[in-house]
C-alpha cells in the first residue's frame, strides 16, 4: 500500500479511497498447557475482532489429493499446490480464501493476529496472514511443520493486501500466529519475510495485535539480525530483543488486561474457563465497539493422551457472550453444514474483480440470519433477553457435557456418532431461534 491508498497487484494497480477505519482494537488468542489446564488437556481459544458488519462462516474441507503442477487460488494470488492437503475446519471472513482460526485432522490449531511493526506492510497483493493460517493447517501434521510451511511460503511469496472488504479503507498488516498441537505451541511473529518464533510447552500464553517475543527465540530467519542492523534498528551489540527492535516507535496498544484475564485464573483452566474468558467484555477480550465486534470465536481441546479425540468448538456468529459454542470432531464421514456457509458468488464476487470491493454483497448465512433475531432480543428486551441467553447457555452446556463424556469414556469413539455432531448442533440452534 502506498500513501495515496493504492494497492499494487502482480498485474495491475487498483485504487481505493484513502479514508481510514478506526484503529482496530486488540484481538486475542490463548493457549493453556497442563498442569495449568485441567485433566491433561491443551486448551486453545481465539476471538476474531473484525469490522462490525463482516460475516464469518465456518467451513469444513475434506483431505484431498491434487494433480501435479496444479495451483491453489488464495485470496489475492495463486501459488503451487501440494500433492495432498489435510482435512480442515476453519472460521473465516466470508469474502476471503484463508482463515482467522481453525484446526486440522491431526490436531493442529492456528490463529492469526494482524500487527503493526517498524517495517510497513507490503505494497503489493501477496498472501494474507489469514491465507497462511489455512495453508499451515492444510499442509502441516504438527505445529512445527505448520510453522515451517508458513515461513517458507512467506519467503517465497511475501505477505500483503487489504485485510478488509472495503474499497474505502486500505489496511495491510504484518502477522503473528499461535500454532498449537497436543504437545507444544509456537508463537510466530513476522515482519515481511523475516520472522522469529518461540516454543511453548507449559503455562498460559496469549498473543494479541502487538509483538510479544523478546530475547527467547527458538527459531528465526537466518538474516533477521543482519536485516535489523541494515535498517539501523539494532547496533549488533548487546542482547537482541525482538519486540524492542521491531515494534513501532508509537505502540500504544495495551493487551495487558486481556492477557491477565486468563493468566490470573486461580482454578485449573477448562474449556468452560476459556469460553468465559472469550466472553469477557470488561477486560477487552470480547470486543463490542462502534466500528468493531468479535465476529466469531473458537475454542479447541487437545488431549495429550492420543487415544482421545481433539474437540473443536465454533460459534459461527458474532459476540461470544450472545453465542453458542458448538462442538466438532474430525472423522472420515463429516456431514457438511451449509447453514454456516455464506452464499458463493464465484467469479462475480466483488472481492475477486478489479478494482476490488466496489460492491458489498449480502454474505449472511442461515445461522447468522437466525442469530440476528437473538441478538436483537437480547439488546432490546432485558427480561426476555435474559431468559433467551439462559436457554442458549443451557443448550451449550448440554453439548459440553456430551463432549466431557467422550473425553472420560473408556470406550473408543464411534465415528458414526459424531460425523453429524456440528450439523445437529447448528440445526438445533436455528430451530430454537425460530
User: Annotated active-site positions, please?
Assistant: 29
Q: How far apart are CA 381 and CA 373, in angstroms?
A: 12
HSE (side-chain half, CA atoms, 13 Å) at 160: 21
Joined grid coordinates for residue 269: 483452566
Burial of 233 from C-beta contacts in 10 A (0-12 / 13-18 / 19+): middle
The helix/strand/coil state of 74 is coil
Q: First-to-last CA distance in the chain? A: 45
**CA-to-CA separations, 274 to 26, 133, 209, 297, 360, in angstroms, rounded:** 17, 21, 19, 11, 34
CA 212 to chain centre: 17
Say which DSSP state 185 is in.
E
Q: Is the peptide bond before 35 cis (omega within 30 degrees of 0)?
A: yes
The helix/strand/coil state of 124 is strand
Q: Is the peptide bond before 355 cis (omega within 30 degrees of 0)?
A: yes
Name residues whose C-beta falls within 8 Å of residue 70's C-beta, 6 or more positions apart in sequence.
80, 81
Joined grid coordinates for residue 262: 486468563
In which order are the strands placed within the sheet that holds 174-180?
56-61, 88-93, 101-104, 109-115, 174-180, 185-191, 194-200, 219-220
Burial of 12 from C-beta contacts in 10 A (0-12 / 13-18 / 19+): exposed
Output phi, psi for 29, to 5 deg: -140, 150
Single out the residue of 106, 102, 104, 85 nearest to residue 93, CA to CA.
Answer: 102
The helix/strand/coil state of 328 is strand
Say which DSSP state 87 is in.
-
Q: Find the helix or strand (DSSP H, E) in which 73 lies.
A: strand 71-73
Name residues whose C-beta falls within 8 Å of residue 274's C-beta, 6 or more positions apart in sequence.
30, 32, 43, 44, 45, 262, 299
Q: Tell the residue number behind the cell numbers 487498483, with chain if given.
A: 14
Say which DSSP state 2 is in.
B
Amino acid at each position: 500500500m502506498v500513501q495515496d491508498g493504492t494497492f499494487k497487484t502482480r498485474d495491475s494497480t487498483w485504487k481505493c479511497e484513502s479514508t481510514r477505519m478506526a484503529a482496530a482494537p486488540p484481538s486475542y488468542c490463548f493457549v493453556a498447557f497442563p498442569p495449568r489446564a485441567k485433566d491433561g488437556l491443551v486448551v486453545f481459544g481465539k476471538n476474531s475482532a473484525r469490522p462490525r458488519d463482516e460475516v464469518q462462516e465456518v467451513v469444513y474441507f475434506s483431505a484431498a489429493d491434487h494433480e501435479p503442477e496444479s495451483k491453489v487460488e488464495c485470496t489475492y494470488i495463486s501459488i503451487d499446490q501440494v500433492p495432498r492437503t489435510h482435512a480442515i475446519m476453519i472460521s473465516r471472513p466470508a469474502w476471503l480464501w484463508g482463515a482467522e482460526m481453525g484446526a486440522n485432522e491431526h490436531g493442529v490449531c492456528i490463529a492469526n493476529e494482524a500487527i503493526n511493526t517498524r517495517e510497513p506492510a507490503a505494497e503489493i497483493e501477496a498472501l494474507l496472514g489469514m491465507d497462511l493460517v489455512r495453508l499451515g493447517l492444510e499442509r502441516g501434521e504438527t505445529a512445527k511443520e505448520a510453522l515451517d510451511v508458513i515461513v517458507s511460503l512467506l519467503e517465497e511469496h511475501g505477505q500483503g493486501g487489504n485485510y478488509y472488504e472495503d474499497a474505502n479503507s486500505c489496511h495491510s498488516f504484518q502477522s503473528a500466529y499461535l500454532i498449537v498441537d497436543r504437545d507444544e505451541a509456537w508463537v510466530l511473529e513476522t515482519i515481511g519475510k523475516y520472522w522469529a518464533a518461540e516454543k511453548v510447552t507449559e503455562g498460559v500464553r496469549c498473543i494479541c495485535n502487538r509483538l510479544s517475543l523478546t530475547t527467547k527465540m527458538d527459531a528465526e530467519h537466518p538474516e533477521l539480525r543482519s536485516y535489523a542492523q541494515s535498517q539501523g534498528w539494532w547496533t549488533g551489540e548487546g542482547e537482541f530483543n525482538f519486540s524492542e527492535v521491531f515494534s513501532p516507535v508509537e505502540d500504544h496498544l495495551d493487551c495487558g488486561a486481556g492477557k491477565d484475564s486468563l493468566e490470573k485464573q486461580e482454578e485449573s483452566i477448562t474449556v468452560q474457563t476459556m469460553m468465559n474468558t472469550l466472553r469477557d467484555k470488561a477486560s477487552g477480550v470480547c470486543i463490542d465497539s462502534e466500528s468493531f465486534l468479535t465476529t466469531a470465536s473458537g475454542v479447541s481441546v487437545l488431549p495429550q493422551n492420543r487415544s482421545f479425540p481433539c474437540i473443536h468448538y465454533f460459534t459461527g456468529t458474532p459476540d461470544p457472550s450472545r453465542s453458542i459454542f458448538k462442538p466438532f470432531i474430525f472423522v472420515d464421514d463429516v456431514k457438511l453444514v451449509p447453514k454456516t456457509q455464506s452464499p458463493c458468488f464465484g467469479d462475480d464476487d466483488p472481492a475477486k474483480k478489479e478494482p476490488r470491493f466496489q460492491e458489498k454483497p449480502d454474505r449472511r448465512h442461515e445461522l447468522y440470519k437466525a442469530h440476528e433475531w437473538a441478538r436483537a432480543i437480547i439488546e432490546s428486551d432485558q427480561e426476555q433477553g435474559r431468559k433467551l441467553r439462559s436457554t442458549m447457555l443451557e443448550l451449550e452446556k448440554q453439548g459440553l457435557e456430551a463432549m466431557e463424556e467422550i473425553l472420560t469414556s473408556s470406550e473408543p469413539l464411534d465415528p458414526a456418532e459424531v460425523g453429524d455432531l456440528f450439523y445437529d448442533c447448528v440445526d438445533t440452534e436455528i430451530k430454537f431461534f425460530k
